[in-house]
Amino acid sequence: MAISQAPPLLLLLLVSLFFFPALGGLTRFGNCSSTQSARANSVDISPNPVKRSGNANFTITGYTRKAIPGEASVELIFVTDLYTMTKNYSLCDITACPVSPGPFVLTIRNVFRTRLQKRVPQYRVGLRIMEKTVKEPIMCIGFYCKFSGSVLELSQAFTW
């Protein structure tokens, strides 16, 4: 019986080898809580790793059980061993508002509009969707953004 199952398993393994390179651009991430009404399904950083002399786009796909109002904000938090930076966006600047229950896509373009100063191989990045009147985030995720190339320089493009 095990012999008859070997060819389908081998075929499945060979087929999966063709699909894994296509998934290589996706970034590993974690949702902060299982109780939030919205959850991320994937995080894509383009390019990955980010060239130090260039820029990056973040694309987050997710699913929400409840509508997300247009007044919600999206906060990016960049953390290294030495400092923390935040950057805030209106939800409507990065996706169509309001977000109806179901799948959604957040696209944050040109995350690094200027060059950064510190020599860091990567940032720990947190992303939160917040409503003005609610303390708990609608969605919260964490991931790493890796860099290649030379030194980055920080400017006032980030809010401290």
Tell me: the pLDDT tens digits for 96-155?
A: 999 999 999 999 998 886 555 456 778 899 999 999 888 899 999 999 988 876 444 333
Q: What is the value of pTM for the model shown? A: 0.73
What order of strands is seen across the sheet that includes strand 102-108? 26-27, 38-46, 57-64, 102-108
Any long-range contacts for 110-113 (C-beta under 8 Å, 24+ apart)? 110/55, 110/56, 110/57, 111/55, 111/56, 111/57, 111/58, 111/76, 111/87, 112/50, 112/54, 112/55, 112/56, 112/152, 112/157, 113/55, 113/157
**3-state secondary structure (DSSP) of residue 136:** coil
1 pLDDT exceeds 70?
no
CATH of 26-148, one of 3.40.630.10, 3.40.50.300, 2.60.40.770, 3.90.180.10: 2.60.40.770
Name the token pair of 49: 């790793």
57 pLDDT exceeds 80?
yes
Q: Give the confidence band of 8 by pLDDT, cuts at 50, 70, 90.
A: very low
Q: What is the distance in angstroms between the CA of the first residue and the CA of the last residue of the chain?
A: 63
Share of the chain above pLDDT 90, in %: 46
Q: How far, in Å, CA of 131 to CA of 79, rounded?
A: 23
- Which pLDDT value is given to residue 64? 96
Domain ranges of the chain: 26-148
| Average per-residue pLDDT for the chain | 78
Q: Give the confidence band of 72 by pLDDT, cuts at 50, 70, 90.
A: very high
CB-based contact 127:72 (threshold 8 Å):
no
User: Does residue 22 or residue 87 have the better pLDDT?
Assistant: 87
- Which pLDDT value is given to residue 116? 56
- Which pLDDT value is given to residue 112? 80
Residue type, 22: A
- Which pLDDT value is given to residue 121? 78
- Which pLDDT value is given to residue 26? 72
- Which pLDDT value is given to residue 119? 67
Contacts of 137 (CB under 8 A, 6+ apart): 32, 36, 128, 129, 130
Contacts of 33 (CB under 8 A, 6+ apart): 140
